[in-house]
Amino acid sequence: MLKIGIVGARGLSVANAIKARDDAEIIAMCDLDEDELKGAGKALGLDESCLYRVYNDMLEKADIDAVVIGTPMQCHVPQAILALQAGKHVMCEVTAAVTMDELWWLIENVEKSGKIYMYAENYCYMPEVQLVKELAHKGYFGDIYYAEGEYTHDCTELRNWHGRTGWRSYWQMGTRGAFYPTHSLGPVMACFDESERIKEVACFSSGNHNPYGLRNDDVNQAMCVLESGKLVKIRVDTISPRPHCLTYYQIQGTKGCYESPRTGGDHVIAVATEDNPQGYEKWRPLSDFNDMLPERYKKGGGEGAGHGGGDYYIVEDFVEAVKTNTQPYLNVYRAAEWTAVALLSQLSVTNGGRVIEMPKFRPNMPWEEKRIKL
């Protein structure tokens, strides 16, 4: 039984998924806000003796094997490092870090600890994303050479918390560039070959027109050039007045394409097949291919879990990684690369869209490569 402590009482997207399993349990929770902590603890059926206001107290006193980090972004690396140094496995919400130096610290501590670190990019686990990934890896799109993702989510109402200026005003909308790319980036990168990596990043913005005095530009477009020369375009827009569209994706390959709905409707696919060589000329519902869903999605288990049930399967993979002592697909190196798109896009957009080279994140990187080339 994997015994888990959650830090961040509002970061409960995986709580129901953990509760639905018979090989993991939540036995502790930590949060600075006492009211939030007690409310979340009650919802999870935790005794007050299992609730902690001080994170170090939970790490030292609670009998836990792993920590799920669901706190503000600027807390992720310090809390992950403390957990790793205390001998705990870590699953951490996005983004992984808020500076490039933090990424190096995180990687070094994961490697030194020998513990499991999993990036909780739960959008990768949504059923439609998993189906498209399966189709991509089976060659339905041919050779994929272009993808795009969009995260358009008006977050301006989240700038303040209990009448005070909240962390999002600084660590999200207080920075420039595509500061929150991984919900869009992860699902499309998963469709490429696993050996593919991002080589360069350039970011362009529409400028700043918002009435809130926020530093972030209204629209940020990050262009990612992969090592193979293929392209991924990522839009991050959390200020523009528009309906939410958190999960728009497009995949384009030599045999056809896929698009998720922007304003309602179906996920659609158009691909050439042996039976219909011109099949790429007409859209058809993605659901026509539901028999290609991974088997565990067909069997169910994610009902009631967040993100379309995807949170159940991300917890399943985390638990399995700990059991087998095998770093997961969403490992620290992928977390660093996808997070670095945000951090390098800040440098790019403030330098007129300059192309910034991505470090090649991998095990045991030499010190000389842990730098940014301008």
Domain ranges of the chain: 2-123+329-349, 124-298
Q: Tell how strand 144-152 and strand 231-237 pair up.
A: parallel
At residue 167, the pLDDT reads 77
* Architecture of the CATH domain 124-298: 2-Layer Sandwich (3.30)
Torsion angle defined by CA atoms of residues 101, 105, 106 and 112, in that order, rounded to the nearest 10 degrees: 160
Average of per-residue pLDDT values in the chain: 93
Helix (H) or strand (E) holding 29: strand 24-30
Q: How far is CA 252 from CA 132, 166, 303, 341, 362, in A?
A: 12, 39, 31, 21, 28
- Ramachandran bin of 195, using left for φ above 0, alpha for ψ from -120 to 50, beta for the remaining angles: alpha
Helix (H) or strand (E) holding 44: helix 34-44
Q: How far is CA 103 from CA 78, 100, 108, in A?
A: 11, 5, 9
- The 10s digit of each residue's pLDDT in 125-139 is 999 999 999 999 999
Of the chain, the percentage scoring pLDDT greater than 90 comes to: 79
First to last CA, the chain: 48
Total-model pTM = 0.95
- Integer Cα distance of 83 and 99 in angstroms: 19
Q: Which DSSP letter does residue 287 get?
A: G
Q: What fold is seen in the domain 2-123+329-349?
A: Rossmann fold (3.40.50)
Q: Work out the pLDDT band at 164, boundaries 50, 70, 90.
A: confident
- Integer Cα distance of 258 and 269 in angstroms: 4
Positions of E strands within 82-239: 89-92, 117-119, 144-152, 160-161, 164-165, 198-205, 220-226, 231-237
Question: Which amino acid would we find at residue 96?
Answer: A
CB atoms within 10 A of CB 143: 11
Q: Is the pLDDT of residue 159 over 90?
A: no
Q: Is the pLDDT of residue 337 over 90?
A: yes
- The 10s digit of each residue's pLDDT in 5-40 is 999 987 677 888 898 889 999 999 999 999 999 999
Long-range contacts (CB closer than 8 Å, 24 or more residues apart) made by 50-55:
52/28, 54/30, 55/7, 55/30, 55/79, 55/82
- Integer Cα distance of 179 and 156 in angstroms: 15
Q: Work out the pLDDT band at 51, boundaries 50, 70, 90.
A: very high
Q: Tell how strand 220-226 and strand 231-237 pair up.
A: antiparallel
Q: Is the pLDDT of residue 83 over 70?
A: yes
Q: Is residue 329 classed as helix, strand or coil in its secondary structure? A: coil
